[in-house]
Amino acid sequence: MSQDRVIIFDTTLRDGEQSPGASMTREEKLRIAKALEKLRVDVIEAGFAIASPGDFEAVKSIADTIQDSTICSLARAVDADIDRAAEALANANSGRIHTFIATSPIHMEHKLRLQPDQVIEQAVRAIKRARNLCADVEFSCEDGGRSEIDFLCRIIEQAIDAGARTINIPDTVGYAIPHQFAETIRQVIERVPNADKAIFSVHCHNDLGLAVANSLAAVTAGARQVECTINGLGERAGNASLEEIVMAIKTRQDVLGVHTGIVTEHILSTSRLVSSITGFPVQPNKAIVGANAFAHESGIHQDGVLKHRETYEIMSAQSVGWHANKLSLGKLSGRNAFRTRLQELGIELSDQDELNAAFVRFKELADKKHEIFDEDLQALVSDTVTDMVERMRLVFLDVRSRTGETPMATLTVEIGGVEQQATASGSGPVDAAFRALEQIASSGANLQLYSVNAITEGTDSQGEVTVRLEKGGRIVNGNGADTDIVIASAKAYINALNLMHSGALKAHPQVEGI
Ligand code: KIV
Ligand code: ZN
């Protein structure tokens, strides 16, 4: 690989999934992995295989399917994690085990309760074990941003000797400042005697809003892999956002002097897919993928752009996929055209029943909505296809809402083949529908978030609703889409209840001790 090429390592499916409420099903992860492959991401961190059976299955099915990107699983520096990661990656065309241990004084003393020499010993042992199972091994110094430079150099030298080919220095707690972080990376690369045998990587969290700046500063200091996520999803304030890293590298090649292999035209569709699956909306003023990122409001700016685009635009909207919003299908489109378009979008339905169910929903939607766009199809499939057993299903919903009268909702749901009905009033039709659902479900969960987003433009757009429920510290996000936002809301609430009922808790890579 050329010295000027920056490897893009996407961790949306692992660190991104650690955002409270962002957990995804195996099928959803596979759809995102296919979009990342199409984007030409070099390495996809598909999950943390030992965390749960669901995570293992997700890593495995991504490793079994994806051909063009390297598939990686996270593993703590312990035998069981490494063996499980290797098992999940067994069929990968190109697989990587990513093992880590904390290296900062505060983590070693209070979390690991290990002496620095014991940490080195454990890291070396883990890397050797991983190398026996997989040719491509990455080692991360967790909390690298707060680690002592002498210790970093010591452990990294031994990690490379043990067989790690990528050395990642994460700013786990988002504490670094760009020039200082760049200096750390520069010194490590200079001082580690066998540094030329590894690629140096960074993984920055955004607690101070500096994740992208820190990552780019590290690139100027010699890092040649950046770990990032779509829409900056991730633990707490998130990770460095892939779209911002990639477009900064592309737009400021004059200063940074490096490039990536990303097909930037697929950035927007991937961002929308991740937002629709996780239910995390993208803020309008978000760089690159926010709705206003290329909208010029002031007259002076509009005039300038019309005369010469570069007066106010540093990159073209088309280069990241804006205005590629393709009219996909219409009312008269047949089943074959429908299936073909889904395949082009990277969506493969597992059997004829799923295709039939999705096609029925497509026809219903086409009756209500004249033009069906790719985003509509993504939402429709998210809404129809699930590898989770649906415990509760909406059968019927009637809402009454008039000026001066209390809104009422009557609904019927099916639970385990038995229909149940409830009626409730509320401060609005959505509130009434949620109260009716709670009469039946008695979940005792707290509603933490309710959000509605229009999937496409126009008043006939489908509304995509996210409902976040919390119970006993466990958070789930339910999604629902429909041209009727009350129906979309009821579906999202039911989806959240189903998730709450089905899901198993996962181990958390940073919190769990070793
Ligand atoms: O933030 C972090 O340190 C991580 C590591 C596991 C790479 O996510
Ligand atoms: Zn992280």
The confidence score (pLDDT) of residue 425 equals 97
User: Is the beta carbon of 509 within 6 A of some atom in ligand 1?
Assistant: yes
HEC per residue, 350-374: CCHHHHHHHHHHHHHHHHHCCCEEH
Q: Which of 13, 96, 140, 206 gets mutated to test ligand 1 (max ligand atoms within 8 A of its CB)? A: 140
For ligand 1, the distance from its centroid to the CA atom of residue 80, given in whole angstroms, is: 19
Q: Please name the residue whose Cα sits nearest to atom 5 of ligand 1.
A: 142
Nearest to 198 by CA among 227, 152, 160: 160
Question: Contact, 250 vs 264, CB < 8 A?
Answer: yes
For ligand 1, the distance from its centroid to the CA atom of residue 501, given in whole angstroms, is: 29
For ligand 1, the distance from its centroid to the CA atom of residue 170, given in whole angstroms, is: 6
Angle 234-89-74 (CA atoms, 0-180°, nearest 5)?
30
Q: Please name the residue whose Cα sits nearest to atom 2 of ligand 1.
A: 172
Strand ranges, E, within 416-455: 418-425, 446-454
User: Is the beta carbon of 426 within 6 A of some atom in ligand 1?
Assistant: no
Give the residue carrying structure tokens 């106010």.
312
Q: How far is CA 446 from CA 216, 369, 430, 449, 488, in A?
A: 40, 34, 16, 9, 19
Q: Which ligand is closest in space to the CA of residue 48?
A: 1
Continuous H helices in 39-108:
53-65, 79-88, 105-106
User: Is the beta carbon of 170 within 6 A of some atom in ligand 1?
Assistant: yes
The confidence score (pLDDT) of residue 458 equals 78
The confidence score (pLDDT) of residue 476 equals 82
Atom of ligand 1 minimally distant from the CA of 11: 8
Quote the tokens at residue 9. Answer: 């390592």
Query: Other CB atoms closer than 10 Å to residue 211's CB: what's the count?
Result: 29
Sheet of 392-400, strand order: 392-400, 408-415, 418-425
Q: Which of 14, 73, 138, 142 gets mutated to test ligand 1 (max ligand atoms within 8 A of its CB)? A: 142
User: Is the beta carbon of 172 within 6 A of some atom in ligand 1?
Assistant: yes
Can you tell me the distance from the alpha carbon of 359 to that of 315, in angstroms, rounded to the nearest whole number? 38
The confidence score (pLDDT) of residue 373 equals 79
Atom of ligand 1 minimally distant from the CA of 143: 3
Consecutive H or E run containing 479: strand 474-482
Q: Please name the residue whose Cα sits nearest to atom 1 of ligand 1.
A: 172
HEC per residue, 327-352: EEECCCCCHHHHHHHHHHCCCCCCCH
pLDDT per residue, tens digit, the chain (514 aa), is 778 999 999 999 999 998 877 888 898 899 999 999 999 999 999 999 999 999 999 999 999 999 999 999 999 999 999 999 999 999 999 999 999 999 999 999 999 999 999 999 999 999 999 999 999 999 999 999 999 999 999 999 999 999 999 999 999 999 999 999 999 999 999 999 999 999 999 999 999 999 999 999 999 999 999 999 999 999 999 999 999 999 999 999 999 999 999 999 999 999 999 998 888 889 889 999 998 888 766 666 667 777 777 777 899 999 999 876 565 677 888 888 888 888 777 677 777 888 888 888 888 888 887 778 777 887 787 766 665 667 899 999 999 999 999 999 999 999 988 999 999 999 999 999 999 999 999 999 999 889 888 877 778 888 889 898 888 877 788 888 899 999 999 999 999 999 888 764 556 676 554 4
The confidence score (pLDDT) of residue 313 equals 80
Q: Which of 203, 228, 511, 514 gets mutated to test ligand 1 (max ligand atoms within 8 A of its CB)? A: 203
Quote the tokens at residue 363. Answer: 């026809």
Quote the tokens at residue 209. Answer: 């809003």
For ligand 2, the distance from its centroid to the CA atom of residue 8, given in whole angstroms, is: 15
Q: How far is CA 493 from CA 235, 392, 426, 454, 484, in A?
A: 24, 10, 15, 18, 14
Q: Which of 45, 74, 511 gets mutated to test ligand 1 (max ligand atoms within 8 A of its CB)? A: 74
Q: Give the list of residues 6+ apart from residue 96 with CB closer than 8 angstroms, or none.
A: 43, 70, 71, 72, 73, 89, 134, 136, 137, 138, 166
For ligand 2, the distance from its centroid to the CA atom of residue 393, given in whole angstroms, is: 36
User: Is the beta carbon of 100 within 6 A of some atom in ligand 1?
Assistant: yes
For ligand 1, the distance from its centroid to the CA atom of residue 168, given in whole angstroms, is: 9
The confidence score (pLDDT) of residue 457 equals 72
Q: Which ligand is closest in space to the CA of residue 173?
A: 1
Can you tell me the distance from the alpha carbon of 181 to that of 194, in angstroms, rounded to the nearest whole number? 21
Distance of CA 29 to the CA centre of its chain: 8
User: Is the beta carbon of 203 within 6 A of some atom in ligand 1?
Assistant: yes
For ligand 2, the distance from its centroid to the CA atom of residue 222, given in whole angstroms, is: 20
User: Is the beta carbon of 55 within 6 A of some atom in ligand 1?
Assistant: no
Rounded to two decimals, what is the model's pTM?
0.84
Q: Please name the residue whose Cα sits nearest to atom 4 of ligand 1.
A: 172
Query: Other CB atoms closer than 10 Å to residue 356's CB: what's the count?
Result: 13
For ligand 2, the distance from its centroid to the CA atom of residue 269, given in whole angstroms, is: 24
For ligand 2, the distance from its centroid to the CA atom of residue 227, given in whole angstroms, is: 9
